Amino acid sequence: MGTMPRAQNPPEDDLLRRAARGEEAAFVQIYRAHQATLYRFALRMTGSAWNAEEIVQESFMALLRNAERYDASRGELGAFLFGMARNFVRKRTARRPAELPFADDGELPHGTSAAAHAGARGPANPAELAEQTQRIEQVRRAVLELPEEFREAVALCDLEEMSYEEAARLLDCPIGTIRSRLHRGRTLLAAQLEILRERPRKAVSR
């Protein structure tokens, strides 16, 4: 994971044209190549599985309606689709801030699985798992509280593990902007998560 997937054959612009004409198999190929990345981005930006589902659905509907607007020579279909998803995310987050569902029951919301993570690393005892769950939830909330531009950079570079170049292409901005947003986002996150405590109050430079 980490990059917007690219179909090799047939080209995505051809697939898109066929999908817009009602060819289900072509649509499915496009959908399955991009849905997971869009969903996770929307989930991390809105904090709500329900909103993320809606955003994915709206994005693909918009893609079908505006298929003729896609020009393969100007960029990948993934980036085109991502731009649409981003607009839908913004519409939702403009109406209301990112959601921070549940709090005290010790369980993670839909979209966050400490058990899955622990399982990937090896067995963990219940106490470790509970601690990890709490830690993950703390980070998830801190990410949701970041300003939108910083949150986008963190979601793409740190959580989807995209390169700065890929994130810049998707967000349609210079690499330097991504770097700067990421740096500021991480600084805010560190402060939120209170992992700056051991840092001297004043920078010591030569």
Partner 1 sequence: MKGNEEAMSCEELQKLAMNGKQPGGAASDAEHAAWEAHLEHCANCAAYQNTQLELRARLRELAAGTAAEQTPWRIEALLRREVAALGPRKESPWNRRGLALAVLAAAAVLVAAAVLRQSSPYVAPVAGVQPPPAIAAPPEISDSAEAAAENATAAGDFVLLPGGIPDAGDDSAILRVRLQRGELASMGLTVNEEASAEWVMVDLLVGPDGQPQAVRLLR
Which residues contribute to the site for partner 1 (CB under 8 A)? Answer: 1, 19-24, 27-28, 31-32, 35-36, 38-40, 43-44, 52-53, 56-57, 60-61, 64, 108, 111-114, 116-117, 120, 132, 135-136, 139-140, 143, 154, 157-161, 164, 179, 182-183, 186, 189-190, 193, 195-196, 198-200, 203-206
Cα–Cα distance between 146 and 168 in angstroms, integer?
19
Residue 85 Cβ vs partner 1, minimum distance, rounded to whole Å: 11
Tell me, letter by letter, the H, E, C secondary structure of 2-44.
CCCCCCCCCCHHHHHHHHHCCCHHHHHHHHHHHHHHHHHHHHH
Amino acid at 2: G
Residue 100 Cβ vs partner 1, minimum distance, rounded to whole Å: 14
Specify the residue, 19 or 74, whose C-beta has the smaller distance to partner 1.
19
Cis peptide before 10 (omega within 30 of 0): yes
Specify the residue, 87 or 113, whose C-beta has the smaller distance to partner 1.
113
Specify the residue, 63 or 93, whose C-beta has the smaller distance to partner 1.
63
Closest CA to 156 of 44, 34, 33, 49: 44
Helix (H/G/I), strand (E/B), else coil: 191: helix
Residue 127 Cβ vs partner 1, minimum distance, rounded to whole Å: 16
Specify the residue, 52 or 93, whose C-beta has the smaller distance to partner 1.
52
Residue 98 Cβ vs partner 1, minimum distance, rounded to whole Å: 15
The full DSSP string for 117-151 is: HHHHH----HHHHHHHHHHHHHHHHHHHTS-HHHH
